[in-house]
Structure formats: C-alpha cells, structure tokens
Structure 1
Amino acid sequence: MSASSSSVPSRAGRPAPPVDADARSHHYGAFYSLADGPEADATVVVGNCQAESLRVMLDGPALATVRIPAVHELTVDDLPYLRYWLERAAVLVSQPVRADYHGMPLGTAQLASLLPAGGRLVRVPVLRVAGLYPTHAIVRPPSDLSLVPPVVEYHDLRVLAEAAARLDGRAVGPTGLAGRLDVAAVHAVADESLEQLRRREAANETVVLSDLFLRPLFDQMRTLNHPGNSVFAAAAGRVRAVLGLPEHVVDPGRPLLDRVHAPREAAVIEAFGLSDEATDHWVVDGAVVPVEQVREAHLDWYAAHPDAVAAGLVRHAGALATLGLA
C-alpha cells in the first residue's frame, strides 16, 4: 500500500507519511504517520536493539509507547518524525547516546531537550555482560565500522588470537587455540565485565541493572549483548519504579532478541554452578551452526580484514591476557 493512501487521521504538525512506504515503514507505522499512535503522553524508547524489547515490556495503559527504529538505523529523513513524537512525549527512556551521533542530533541530552515541559527522561544502560560468554567480544574494523564477520557478528577472542598468530607467521595447531578457558578466567572476566557495567551506570546516571548478573543464568543473556525476557521484565519494572508507577506484568508471547544463541562452555557452567549442558554450536535463526564452521569463516574474514585483528587486540587486551591468549 502506498503511504499516500493511508487513512490515518491527520494531527496538527504531524509529518506526512513517506511516499510509497515499504514494509519496514509500515512495521514502524505510528512513527511514520502510517498508523494511529498515542493521542497524548507517549513514551519513546531510544537505543540499540535492546530498546525495542524494553519498549515491549513497558507498553501498557500507563505507558503508551511508540515503536521506533533503533538509533543506529535512524536517518536524516527520520528526524521530523522523531521530533514530532518527542515534542508530545511524557517520557523518554534512553540508553546513553553521545551528542551528534552519526552526525545527527541524536544524543540523549539533545533528544531530551525536545520534551515538553514536565516531560521526564529515564536513562537505562546498554547491557553487555561477558560472564556467560567470556571469550566473546565486539570488534569494529577501523577501515569500516559497519563491517562484521560472517555467520555470527560476535568475535571469539581465541579465534582472534589465532588469526593474529597466523598473520604473524606463527605456527598454530589444527584446532587453533581452543580449550584455553578455566573457572578462574571465567570469574575474572565476569567480575571485570560487571565492574564496567557498574561504571557505565554510575557515569550515565542510569537505572541500575548490574545486580541482576551477580549469578548469571543463560536465560538472562542469549549472547554477550542480547538479554532474555527476564532481564527486560526486570528493567521495565525498575523504569516504572523510577516513574512512580505500579508493577505492570507483560507477556509478549514470544522470546525477545531470540535470533542468535551462543555456545555454552563447560567452564562457565562449572564456574556458576549451572545445571545446563555444554554446547558446541551456535543457534542462528533456529539453525544449529557448529563452532568449527564459525571459526573457519571468521579466520577467512580476518585474513581479508587484518585491521579488525589489530583493533581487537588493542581493545580487548585485558581479556586476552586474562584468558592466557596475549
């Protein structure tokens, strides 16, 4: 359906729908003036992929939310729509976003300045929790920060170290550097990851969520940065508490951020006394992907992107040393 044929009632100042809107535009229908949204006192949730899952858990009679694209997907064409909803919002819930993000006024303070008188800002942390996945990391090649390795976007520091050795001409066995993980290293990485989260919470004056991971469970984090429903439910409860609202239980009827599940390591299970079985595969869109398949694909990618290896060695030097990979 063409956007121009939408029968959504017009509101004063509401931007016109995009011409010939595609499926993505209709997915965010209210945001793009293609569907009805809250008449007043909207809640806007801004951030990465975690923000939409939090919005789902927040939505309800006391917090009528508007689904919007993730902040890294927003373009200049989206700014009028974002401004429209923020100028009518009662609440902005936002992960910390730096000023002029992607060359646009998308910083948390910049967005909060658009709220009407009485509008409230609640900051929530970006959740990256490494305890359950101590060898996993996020690395962006300096040559192109949008590049990610194939199959899964997460880097395994053991494979990164293997790639570095190969690039340096050092001999590496057929199984690479796998197996260098023990309980002490798991606890050390987990403790440092939690301390980093606490520092981010304090520095950005966010709702506190770090205490949820003192004894982490796999249903809390599907990957390094993809929380499960229980975490989003707790986060929503704490946001509501900050706003002075009562508990509001939401069952989305599906697992949130469920597309990718990382392998579960025996040393992690032992470290936290978990009852889960160790696995040697990823699950991507419901399909089982062996760890070895990912390793081979990533080694090929590293050979083509040596700057990603160099960047990873610098950014994750501490974890590499803790894991005995430096």
Structure 2
Amino acid sequence: MPNTDKKLVINKGTFLSDFKQLTKFGLSLSVVFSAIAGYLLAADTINYTIVTLLAVGGYLMVGASNAFNQIIEIEADKLMQRTMNRPLPTGRYNTNTAMIIAVVFTILGLYILYTINEKSALLGAVSIFLYTCAYTPLKGVTPLAVFVGAFPGAIPFMLGWVAATDRFGIEAGIFFMIQFFWQFPHFWAIGWLGHDEYLKAGYNLLPTGKRDRKTVIQILLYTILLIFVSIIPVFKLTGEFYIYPITAVIIFMSGAVIFYYGIQLYKNLTKQTAKKLMLASVFYITAIQIIYIIDKFLH
C-alpha cells in the first residue's frame, strides 16, 4: 500500500531567495516606492544621488526590521502555514546569520540615510526601534499592536519629503497621516484572512478579537479618515503641498472602492470579500502616490 500521509515539503531554496524572504524584498520595495514618491513631491529638482541613497537606505531600514522581526518570531512562525517555510523556522538560516544581516543592515541603512540628512536617519532609527521593540513584542499581547505598528509603517512616505527638504512640517505630517490611517483597513483585512492561523501562533490582530461586524465598523471608520486626509490638500491648507479639485475627486473615488468592499464585508463577513478589501487598499496607497506626483507636475 502506498503511503498517503501528507508531509510538509520544505523547499531547499537558495541563499539569495532565503535572503529575500528574510528581508521581505517585495514589502521593502513597496516602502522604497513610498519614500521616493514623497521625495518627488517635495523636490524642485531631482537629485538622483539622493534618490539612490534614499532607495538603498530605505530598503536596508525595512530589511533590518523584518529580519529582527523573524528572529523574535521564529517559534511562532513554525506554527503558521504561511510562515513555516521561512529560512529561520526551517533551519536554512540560523539566528546568528539572521542577526548579522539585521545588524549590518541597520548600521548601513542609518549611515546612508544620515548622509542625506540627520532627520532622515532619525526617522529610520525610530522606525526600526518601534517595529522591533514595540510592535513585534506586542503582537502576542494585544490587538493594539496594529495601532503601535502603524507608526513605523507610516514613516516611509514622510521620509521622502524630509530627505528632500531636511525639515518636518505640515506636508510631511499629511503624508504620515495618510499612510497611518491606511494601515488599519489594510492590516485588519489581512488579519481577517489569516485569523485562524494567527490564533495558532498566539496572535489576535483584529480589534474586537474576532471576525465580526464591530471589527468591520472600525475598518470603515478608518477608511473614512483615510479618504478625508488624502483630499485635505485640495483646500490649500497644507503648506507647499496641494492638489487640484479633479485630483481630489479621483482620490475620493479610489477610496470609495475600499469603503465599498468594507460595506460588503459588513454584509457577508466572508474571507473572499476581506481579500478584495485588502487588494483594494494595496491599489489605493500605490495609486494615490502616483496621482499626487502627476498632479504636481501639472502645476
């Protein structure tokens, strides 16, 4: 009789592919995109040296945070289907190797950001610290971890503006708030999709602790705040950053897509709808940054 027992198949992978997993290469690139978008919105003339430094420094900053995160969560990652094949849970990397990568990335990333200006390096340091020392430990304690994690997650868009101007201000604050409020519908949709898996690892990331309509109401409230903050620049109350009315309408309509799927999730409470909500949020944060840039070059 053939053995029909299901066994976990571990992909051998290569050092490079494991390296990309450890530093979450795709996520890091999305952060780099946000930082460059912030830079382009601030810069009068594009300094390609600074853009390069910002891209490399931003990638190293996020890569370090992700590596530290996976070192801390190695035991939890072994329990979840989506993470058990990562380099550390499978033993393809040991913790010493991961720690060396994380520390080297931190030092190089902060140094590179420092060569742009001191404020950029400060933002990088704050981001790594909050993600590693606040968000990651809190995930197993309280759903408020998502709120704490929204702070380092909201830094990249603002970082680009600060890299270009060497100052904080209302413009950088608006970018921060956009990415801050965006994370709640986005990550609660992810939390909804992976709720059962997260529970296995001792994580409960939904605000009410379960897939219910009270959670969806909070998603909808933060979506409204996200849309409102995203169109505030049309009123020309945000310093040097403003947008045309037609741009505000386009952004409002893009945000309405997230709200629509939020309403659908309230009605049916299904994972399929939560996935559509998550994808709509990914589209939104990418689209508005591109729309903002196009709007600027039409001024």
Query: Is TM (by shorter chain) over 0.5?
Result: no
Which of these two proteins has the greater Rg computed from alpha carbons? 1
Q: Please give the TM-score of this superposition, normalised by the length of structure 1.
A: 0.29
Which structure shows the bigger proportion of residues in strand conformation? 1
Q: Please give the TM-score of this superposition, normalised by the length of structure 2.
A: 0.31
Which structure shows the bigger proportion of residues in helix conformation? 2
